[in-house]
């Protein structure tokens, strides 16, 4: 383990690379199990990497947004499912820092690593009752839910109207939720992103947060931490987080294609595929797109680092620009990978092909609503033209 406080980004990345090597042998096993192997989860626990974005007041490193992104990217280089579950649950741990101290203390007392799966979409209903809420509903995409002692879910309040929409995000402990194994999917099979079901669970007020306050980064509890990172807007930050596993998987696809193609022969004329100009052009164009995606994401990291250093909140234009950079980076990754897969040959369609598994993971990652290109592009264009973002999701 590494020393908790103080801790630098470089040390975290070194640790993450070592952990990625330990997780690599589990990748195929995760696909078969459709969830993470308990030993893989224990490796992550023992590494202390779940504490990267955890508040210092409950034993975490509070290392910052870009540090978490870098760690998640390294972990995905070893195992796609592990990296994805890590990023999703760590993002929720970051949001935990916006809740009341009593909520943070309650979670960390039962799980010091605060592994927090869940679903942020307001798929359930919240009835306001004395002392809190009654929560009911079903939520999809609960990545890592097999290993969470708590979940975070979004719900629409029963007294909500179109004119006065009211939403809440609730923290629910084990015993208050069930898991329904619906996770039979194209890719990311090893993440165990099953449905979460909650039936009439009581959530006291300190374990709930108005969604608007939470997503705006405006929680009064966030200001009690030593760093500014818990005062940043949620949706813009989540788009940045998602680019970490996406970039890692795309690099793996590129490297695998180059390795295979360098020695692959044409089945009909016996020539070397690597000598074909069409293949060379595909490699070059995909390389350029991956490099462009990296530059877009690096600029997002600088934006977050600068905001955290200066303690300055994002204005609307910065938010929509961050989301557009992230969604366009993901689009470039998909283009680069698809171009290479088109030239990978018929053997790449077999399940034994490492390219096929990686491509399915990338396609599944890129379907996350937070990086929907059309929505994020429209928000940026609309705001730039003086019409506002045109959506509350920015």
Give how far Cα 148 sits from Cα of 112, 175, 249, 328, Å.
12, 11, 25, 32
| Distance (Å, whole) CA 100 – CA 278 | 58
Domain identity same for 364 and 295: yes
Domain identity same for 327 and 243: yes
Decide if 325 is inside a domain.
yes
pLDDT beyond 70 at 29: yes
CB 193 within 8 A of CB 143: yes
What average pLDDT does range 19-44 have in this prediction?
98
Domain identity same for 73 and 205: no
Instruction: Domain count for the chain, please give it.
Output: 3
Residue 389 backbone dihedrals phi, psi, to 5 degrees: -70, -15
What average pLDDT does range 188-203 have in this prediction?
98
Decide if 204 is inside a domain.
yes
What average pLDDT does range 265-274 have in this prediction?
86
Amino acid 326: pLDDT: 98
Crossing angle, helix 234-261 and helix 277-310, to 10 degrees?
150
What average pLDDT does range 213-231 have in this prediction?
96
| Distance (Å, whole) CA 139 – CA 120 | 9
User: What is the CATH number for 240?
Assistant: 1.20.140.10
* Six-digit token string for 301: 């990291």
Contacts of 145 by beta carbon, 8 Å cutoff, 6+ apart:
117, 118, 151, 179, 192, 193, 194, 196
Domain identity same for 258 and 331: yes
Domain identity same for 78 and 167: no
Amino acid 193: pLDDT: 98
User: pLDDT tens, 335-377?
Assistant: 999 999 999 999 999 999 999 999 999 999 999 999 999 999 9
Domain identity same for 148 and 292: no
Domain boundary among 88, 110, 132: 110
Decide if 304 is inside a domain.
yes
Domain identity same for 280 and 159: no
User: What is the CATH number for 59?
Assistant: 1.10.540.10
User: What is the CATH number for 140?
Assistant: 2.40.110.10
Decide if 221 is inside a domain.
no
Decide if 124 is inside a domain.
yes
Owner of token pair 């990267």: 52
Helix (H) or strand (E) holding 304: helix 277-310
What domain range is 55 assigned to? 9-110
Decide if 104 is inside a domain.
yes
Domain boundary among 159, 187, 214: 214
Would you call 176 helix, strand, or coil by DSSP? coil
- Listed range (46-60, 177-191, 257-271, 315-329) with the worst mean pLDDT: 257-271
Would you call 334 helix, strand, or coil by DSSP? helix
Amino acid 275: pLDDT: 94
User: pLDDT tens, 74-106?
Assistant: 999 999 999 999 999 999 999 999 999 999 999
The single-letter DSSP state of residue 1 is -
Decide if 223 is inside a domain.
no
| Distance (Å, whole) CA 236 – CA 260 | 37
Domain identity same for 362 and 240: yes
pLDDT beyond 80 at 3: no
User: pLDDT tens, 273-318?
Assistant: 999 999 999 999 999 999 999 999 999 999 999 999 999 999 999 9
Domain identity same for 101 and 128: no
Domain identity same for 277 and 354: yes
Amino acid 6: pLDDT: 52
pLDDT beyond 90 at 213: yes
Domain identity same for 353 and 323: yes
Decide if 312 is inside a domain.
yes
Owner of token pair 């039936």: 199
Domain boundary among 214, 245, 272: 214
User: pLDDT tens, 124-151?
Assistant: 999 999 999 999 999 999 999 999 999 9
Percent of the chain with pLDDT over 90: 93
Domain identity same for 171 and 267: no
User: pLDDT tens, 233-247?
Assistant: 999 999 999 999 999
What average pLDDT does range 8-27 have in this prediction?
97
């Amino acid at each position: 383990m590494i020393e908790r406080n103080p801790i630098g980004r470089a040390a975290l990345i070194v640790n993450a690379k070592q952990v990625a090597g330990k997780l690599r042998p589990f990748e195929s096993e995760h696909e078969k199990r459709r969830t993470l192997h308990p030993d893989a989860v224990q490796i992550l626990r023992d590494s202390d990497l779940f504490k990267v974005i955890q508040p210092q007041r409950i034993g975490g490193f509070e290392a910052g947004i870009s540090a978490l992104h870098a760690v998640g990217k390294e972990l995905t280089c070893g195992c796609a499912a592990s990296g994805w579950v890590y990023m999703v649950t760590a993002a929720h741990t970051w949001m935990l820092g916006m809740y009341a101290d009593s909520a943070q203390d309650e979670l960390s007392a039962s799980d010091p690593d605060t592994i927090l799966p869940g679903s942020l979409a307001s798929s359930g209903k919240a009835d306001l009752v004395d002392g809190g809420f009654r929560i009911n509903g079903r939520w999809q995409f609960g990545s890592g839910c097999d290993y969470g002692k708590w979940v975070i879910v979004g719900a629409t309040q029963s007294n909500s109207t179109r004119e006065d929409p009211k939403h809440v995000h609730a923290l629910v402990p084990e015993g208050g939720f069930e898991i329904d194994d619906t996770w039979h999917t194209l890719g990311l099979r090893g993440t165990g992103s099953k449905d979460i079901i909650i039936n009439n669970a009581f959530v006291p007020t300190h374990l709930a947060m108005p969604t608007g306050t939470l997503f705006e980064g405006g929680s009064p509890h966030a200001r009690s931490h030593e760093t500014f990172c818990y005062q940043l807007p949620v949706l813009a930050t989540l788009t940045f987080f998602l680019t970490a596993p996406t970039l890692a998987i795309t690099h793996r696809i590129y490297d695998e294609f180059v390795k295979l193609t360098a020695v692959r022969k044409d089945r009909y004329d016996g020539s070397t595929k690597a000598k074909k100009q069409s293949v060379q052009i595909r490699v070059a164009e995909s390389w350029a797109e991956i490099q462009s995606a990296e530059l877009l994401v690096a600029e997002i990291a600088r934006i977050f680092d600068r905001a955290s250093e200066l303690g300055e909140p994002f204005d609307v234009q910065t938010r929509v620009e961050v989301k557009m950079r992230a969604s366009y980076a993901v689009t470039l990754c998909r283009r680069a990978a698809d171009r290479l897969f088109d030239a990978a040959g018929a053997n790449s369609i077999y399940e034994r092909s490492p390219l096929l598994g990686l491509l399915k993971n990338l396609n599944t990652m890129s379907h996350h609503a937070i990086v929907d290109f059309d929505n994020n592009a429209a928000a940026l264009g609309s705001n730039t033209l003086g019409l506002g973002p045109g959506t509350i999701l920015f």
